[in-house]
């Protein structure tokens, strides 16, 4: 696989997208060599960045790349957390940023049609202006719609409303051969052959470039309320989650948080969490069509929590109180990012979360590391942060590299083994990308990985699409 692009080939790429939309100056290209993964050592500068405006331009880019053996890495908002859009072998980064129009919000069919480079925040705004609702809400709103589909993103609302996969009804994709395929449509049902559309969901840019997405929309939910429930200990807090679900209440989200990251995030964004009591908090977010139903659900949740020893139940029911609580939850990563080596994304069956987090505590004690853990408890999705810092007197204090580098690998491996023993997967929503690739075989047997390789070969016989991601 070549990594440098010959001048004559570069001219072809420039002609495909227009000279103004192709560049390689290091000052600008450096920004296209990484995502949000904390350790910048995995970054790799592309040889050329191209910004097509249409699927036809993207198709021409892929045809040229295929003919000349140039690797192509699709790039959305670069909010990924596993190095998925890092151009590992150089070559071309194909940025979707100019494909940024929401094309239609179709109220009659409850569908939206959007280009792949639209940011989640802009998409949500357009949908709301159209009087409808798009439930999935992964944490970083600058992610792009194509990237969300390519990683099958989740977010905290998956327990009630599912992940992105549950909303995709159609895709326009460009294959590495330069064909533009229209898969699915504004359809709620299809039993028409193999579902190629679903293959692209979660394919992390290894099968082709997603250029357009058709998404199912819901009607607007009624009202929302957040309950913050502190517990003295971690385990009763986590054991409460399956009990809430068994009670027949399906919250919009149940997040669990530890007090240390809450404290650091309050400081970081200068907002206040409702309470400092206890060590572990549940954030239960409810939606309901009426006040009466909301009261019924809230009481049921409070009863279950108090039955498991909750210290108190704090209610955020005004928009400003809700915003404050949600802002703190969504900014935890920002607040502790400078001390983070890696944020894990393990998913286990819901009733295994307490056991897995107990294991995290044991591993933290064994290696003398701070491993703050929070996550989408009702989805079984646990985000443990492997840290290069410790928490001391309300502050994050860096630790010397010699004290974390070797241990980080051991911690990751022990937690992945625990995840496997509990019937889990190493990524619930972020994807495998580059950094989790060595661990895929922890949870998938070789036969499954070989079938995946075979599928990749069908779409991409020359191996130009995002090479070196998910598996080798
Ligand atoms: C603070 C923070 C909070 C987050 N919270 C969540 C969360 O709650 N839930 C969650 O699931 N994720 C979360 N993430 C991770 C990230 O936002 C998601 O993985 C998101 O889906 C990535 O989208 P992106 O557009 O930024 O993709 P990128 O990072 O640009 O790319 C991700 C992968 O998709 C491929 N790709 C991108 N666009 C295309 C395309 N058009 N066609 C084909 N392949 C493409 C890339 O090659 C790469 O492999 C969070 C990240 C941050 C920084």
DSSP string, 74-142: EESSS--SSSTTS-TT-SEEEE-TT---EEEEETTTTEEEEETT-BHHHHHHHHHHTT-B-----S-TT
CA distance 205 to 470: 10
**Residue from 123, 146, 151 whose mutation best tests the ligand 1 pocket (most atoms within 8 A of CB):** 151
Residue 179 has pLDDT above 50, yes or no: yes
Ligand 1 atom closest to residue 75's alpha carbon, by position in its atom list = 30
Ligand 1 centroid distance, CA of 413 (Å): 24
Average pLDDT over residues 359-371: 98
Maximum separation of any 2 CA atoms in the chain, in Å:
72
Predicted TM-score (pTM) above 0.95: yes
Residue 321 has pLDDT above 80, yes or no: yes
CA distance 467 to 472: 8
Average pLDDT value for the chain:
96
- The pLDDT assigned to 253 comes to 96
Kind plus residue range of the DSSP H or E element containing 300: helix 291-307
Residue 2 has pLDDT above 60, yes or no: no
Instruction: Give tens-digit pLDDT for 234-245.
Output: 999 999 999 999
Residue 207 has pLDDT above 50, yes or no: yes
**Which residue lies with its CA nearest to atom 2 of ligand 1?**
140
- The pLDDT assigned to 116 comes to 99
Instruction: Give tens-digit pLDDT for 385-411.
Output: 999 999 999 999 999 999 999 999 999
Tokens standing for residue 157: 């609302």
State percent of the chain over pLDDT 90.
96
Residue 1 has pLDDT above 60, yes or no: no
Ligand 1 atom closest to residue 146's alpha carbon, by position in its atom list = 41
Ligand 1 atom closest to residue 139's alpha carbon, by position in its atom list = 5
**Residue from 53, 75, 163 whose mutation best tests the ligand 1 pocket (most atoms within 8 A of CB):** 75
Kind plus residue range of the DSSP H or E element containing 268: helix 259-269
- The pLDDT assigned to 317 comes to 79
Ligand 1 atom closest to residue 163's alpha carbon, by position in its atom list = 11
Average pLDDT over residues 298-320: 95
Instruction: Give tens-digit pLDDT for 128-141.
Output: 999 999 999 999 99
Residue 465 has pLDDT above 90, yes or no: yes
């Amino acid at each position: 696989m070549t990594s440098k692009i010959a001048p004559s080939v570069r001219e072809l790429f420039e002609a495909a997208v227009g000279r103004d939309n192709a560049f390689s100056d290091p000052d600008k290209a450096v920004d296209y060599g990484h995502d949000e993964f904390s350790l910048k050592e995995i970054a790799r500068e592309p040889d050329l960045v191209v910004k097509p405006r249409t699927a036809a331009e993207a198709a021409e880019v892929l045809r040229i790349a295929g003919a000349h053996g140039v690797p192509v890495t699709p790039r959305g908002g670069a909010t990924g957390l596993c190095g998925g859009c890092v151009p590992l072998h150089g070559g071309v980064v194909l940025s979707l940023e100019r494909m940024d129009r929401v094309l239609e919000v179709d109220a009659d069919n409850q569908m939206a049609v959007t280009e792949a480079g639209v940011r989640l925040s802009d998409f949500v705004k357009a949908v709301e202006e159209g009087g409808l609702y798009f439930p999935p809400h992964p944490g970083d709103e600058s992610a792009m719609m194509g990237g969300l589909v390519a990683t099958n993103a989740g977010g905290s609302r998956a327990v009630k409303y599912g992940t992105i996969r549950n909303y995709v009804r159609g895709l326009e994709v460009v294959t590495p051969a330069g064909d533009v395929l229209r898969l699915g449509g504004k359809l709620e049902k299809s039993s028409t052959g193999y579902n190629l559309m679903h293959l692209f969901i979660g394919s992390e840019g290894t099968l082709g470039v997603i250029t357009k997405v058709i998404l199912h929309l819901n009607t607007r939910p009624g009202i929302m309320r957040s309950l913050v429930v502190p517990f003295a200990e971690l385990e009763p807090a986590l054991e409460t989650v399956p009990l809430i679900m068994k009670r027949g209440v399906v919250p919009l989200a149940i997040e669990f948080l530890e007090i240390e990251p809450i404290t650091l995030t309050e400081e970081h964004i200068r907002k206040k969490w409702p309470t400092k009591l206890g060590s572990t908090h549940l954030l239960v977010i409810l939606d309901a069509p009426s006040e009466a139903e909301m009261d019924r659900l809230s009481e049921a949740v409070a009863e279950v929590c108090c039955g498991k020893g909750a210290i108190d139940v704090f209610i955020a029911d005004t928009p400003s109180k809700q915003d404050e609580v949600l802002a703190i939850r969504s900014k935890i990563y920002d607040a502790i990012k400078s001390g983070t080596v890696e944020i894990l994304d393990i998913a286990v069956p819901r009733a295994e979360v307490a056991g897995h987090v107990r294991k995290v505590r044991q591993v933290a004690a064994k290696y003398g590391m701070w491993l703050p853990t929070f996550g989408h408890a009702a989805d079984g999705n646990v985000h443990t942060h492997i840290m290069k810092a410790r928490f001391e007197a309300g502050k994050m204090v860096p630790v010397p590299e010699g004290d974390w580098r070797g241990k980080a690998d051991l911690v990751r491996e022990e937690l992945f083994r625990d995840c496997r023993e509990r019937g889990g997967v190493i990524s619930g929503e972020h994807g495998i990308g580059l950094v989790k690739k060595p661990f895929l075989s922890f949870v998938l047997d070789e036969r499954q990985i070989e079938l995946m390789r075979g599928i990749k070969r069908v779409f991409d016989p020359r191996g130009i699409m995002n090479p070196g991601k998910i598996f080798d």
